[in-house]
Copies of this chain bind each other. A is one copy, B any other.
């Protein structure tokens, strides 16, 4: 029931901070220096290609709850998603499209959730610019609320809250 973090990029540190203490995490990155630094900080890390079937099997992808695929290289992300999806049809895969236009491709590769940090950032900036001061703490609110409150806020506007497992 662990979470796999496949590859390493700009979003990895924020992701690891958010997951800290909330889930068992295993990171797979081909960069051995980066793997060493993460390992030194106490993380479980495999130095391997995250789109390599053997590596994903060794990382027990069949039993994993979800996989986060968010490197700066969307092509590598697509390959990692395809591999994970092939080995586990039920795993919940979340991904970040570094280029917005790759969002549908990562979805087609097998990701359940694909976000675009640029689109998210543009959205919040534009809302804040239009609304005056009303939204300036939007990110603080999102990022510093207790996990429970975040989930509640999301559930308020989303009917799928009863489906807490996978699809």
Nearest CB on B from A9, distance (A):
9
Copies of this chain, whole number: 2
Which of A16-24, A29-37, A48-56 lies on the face that meets chain B?
A16-24
Q: Are B129 and A94 in contact (CB under 8 A)?
A: yes
Q: A interface, by DSSP: helix, strand, loop or mixed?
A: helix
- Which of B19, B112, B124, B137 is in CB contact (< 8 Å) with A133? B112
A contacts with B, residue count (CB < 8 A): 70
A146 proximal to B (CB < 8 A): no
Apart from A94-B129, A134-B160, A156-B156, what are 17 other A-B pairs with CB-CB below 8 Å? A3-B129, A11-B118, A14-B121, A14-B123, A17-B122, A18-B123, A19-B126, A70-B125, A92-B132, A112-B133, A115-B128, A117-B117, A117-B118, A117-B120, A119-B143, A127-B154, A137-B160
CB-nearest residue of chain B relative to A151? Answer: B131
Residues of A within 8 A of B (CB): 3, 10-15, 17-19, 22-23, 65-68, 70, 92, 94-96, 100, 112-139, 141-143, 147, 149-151, 153-158, 160-161, 163-167
Q: Given the complex of chains A and B, what is the CA–CA distance between A66 and B11 in angstroms?
A: 28
